[in-house]
Amino acid sequence: MPFLRRAGLRFAAALCLAAVPAVAAAAAAPDLASPDFKPADFFLPRKIWTARLTLTPEQFDAMQPKVGLPPARGGQAPAVATPTAGGAQQRNGLAAQRGVSFDFAHGDLTLEGRVFKDVGVRYKGNGTYFASAGSLKISLKVDLNKYAKDQKFAGLTTLNFHSCARDPGFMNEVLGYEMYRAVGVPAPRVTYARVYLTVPGRHADRYLGLFTVVENVDEDFLRGRLPPGDGALFKPSNGALLADQGTAWSAYAQRYDAKTDLTSAQQQRMIDIISFANQAPTEEFNAHIGDYLDLDNFGAFTAAMVWMSNMDSVLYTGQNYYIYLRPDNRKLMFIPWDQDESWGQVVGSQDMRNNLSIFAPFVRANPVLQRLFAVEAFRKVYLLKLAELTLGPGEPGRIAKQVDELGALLRPAIADESKEALAQFDDSVAGRPVRHTVGIGLNEFLPIKSFVAARQPSVLTQLTAK
């Protein structure tokens, strides 16, 4: 019997999801200086704000990337099968692996006329850094209270400005995170900003371009989205999911990159979870992995990831996600990150990504993830969430409407960047194949609208197969 019928999910009920309007009308934004201004008032996915950064020439020079091994010309960098954790006390990822480090500098941020003095500003990114190298438009992290303590905006201390160097359509993150939230996964919120740079004597209110502004996953995020919010947060760069490194936390510290201060009990709990996930006999694993992982969360997280064929993730590269060790039940939850290469954009052929198996989405060995796909409690949630996405948020007509509406909103800001950026953007909105002119070995790929037109029927066929 088809899966959807076995699971008790009625097509008619699921199709009701597709009737939800593609884009809710954005409410008028309140005054940014108001004490009532909240993160939800700022992270409006159909809004473009204006941000201006000002740095002295000395501080601008101080924030320039330090490169131990110079990247190849043209923004190219060597492809790697597995991102390698950085050295001790360094960032993880491709840029750190190649000796690139980013230092904070002092600057001022003006956001819609509201001035934040003496903020911390640094560049950020790995693949996106190499795709942007040599230009002024590089992703930025702004820490409002790095130097001026207790300085916040809408309860936030950190803002991420992403350059979209690997996303010529400027929509992967906005629409990608919406897919996660559609199945109940806590995911960062996103808005847009035109960003300008002033460096006296060098740049006078120079337009850098359109950026996505992505909610930081930190203690503010945890308190607001995952109360009580005082658990342990990690950002792994570990290849395979929950890869076993032994019984000493020192072997895990760099790979798991804790973003909160850890107690010895939290360290030990992580070691116990990893050990169980890798070493427990199959029958015990199937019966009790739910005592260690929040299977409702991980089933939904995996459904969105697989539906979008996002291989720059747990599925292949082993990065671009956070794990949260809850303080109440001591289980792990998963939070997505860095969706700029979601929607079937990287790894393998376009046909493989369009038709990625929902039952075995493993491009290479991933032992714990493969074990989980045999666990009935995981599979039940995972397949139900895939069905919800397939018949609702991922319906091609709905996605096409969102792309067209966002395209009309964003086009003027991109037209002010360059003719090249506008040409690639127009191709993306129209659904025409896009080829990066800079980046790390990317070939031609289908943008969101065309990818979904192929992916949605593929997933539906797999779900309804006997």
Sorting pLDDT into bands at 50, 70 and 90, what band is 19?
A: very low
Q: Please work out, in degrees rounded to the nearest 5, the angle formed at the alpha carbon of residue 379 by the alpha carbons of 301 and 343.
A: 40
Q: Which tens digits make up the pLDDT trace of 314-368? A: 999 888 999 999 999 999 999 999 999 899 988 888 999 999 999 999 888 899 9
Q: What is the spatial distance between Cα 313 and Cα 124, in angstroms, rounded to a whole number?
A: 18
Is the pLDDT at 18 greater than 50? The verdict is: no
- Mean pLDDT in residue range 102-129: 92
Is the pLDDT at 25 greater than 70? The verdict is: no
Is the pLDDT at 20 greater than 70? The verdict is: no
* Higher per-residue pLDDT: 184 or 77: 184
Q: Which tens digits make up the pLDDT trace of 166-204? A: 899 999 999 999 999 999 999 999 999 999 999 999 999
Sorting pLDDT into bands at 50, 70 and 90, what band is 90?
A: low
> How buried is residue 254: exposed, middle or buried, by Cβ count under 10 Å (0-12/13-18/19+)?
middle
The token pair at 359 is 């039952």
Cis preceding linkage at 71, omega within 30: no
pLDDT for residue 442: 53
What is the edge-to-edge ordering of all strands in the sheet holding 332-336? 232-234, 321-325, 332-336
The least confident of 48-57, 195-204, 284-293, 312-321 is 312-321
- In which residue are the tokens 């330090």 written? 66
Sorting pLDDT into bands at 50, 70 and 90, what band is 66?
A: confident
Q: Which tens digits make up the pLDDT trace of 121-159? A: 999 987 777 777 778 999 999 999 999 988 999 989 999
The token pair at 353 is 């990504």
Q: What is the mean pLDDT of the chain?
A: 87
pLDDT for residue 3: 54
For the residues of 319-333, what is the DSSP string, one character each? -SEEEEE-TTT--EE
* Higher per-residue pLDDT: 147 or 227: 147
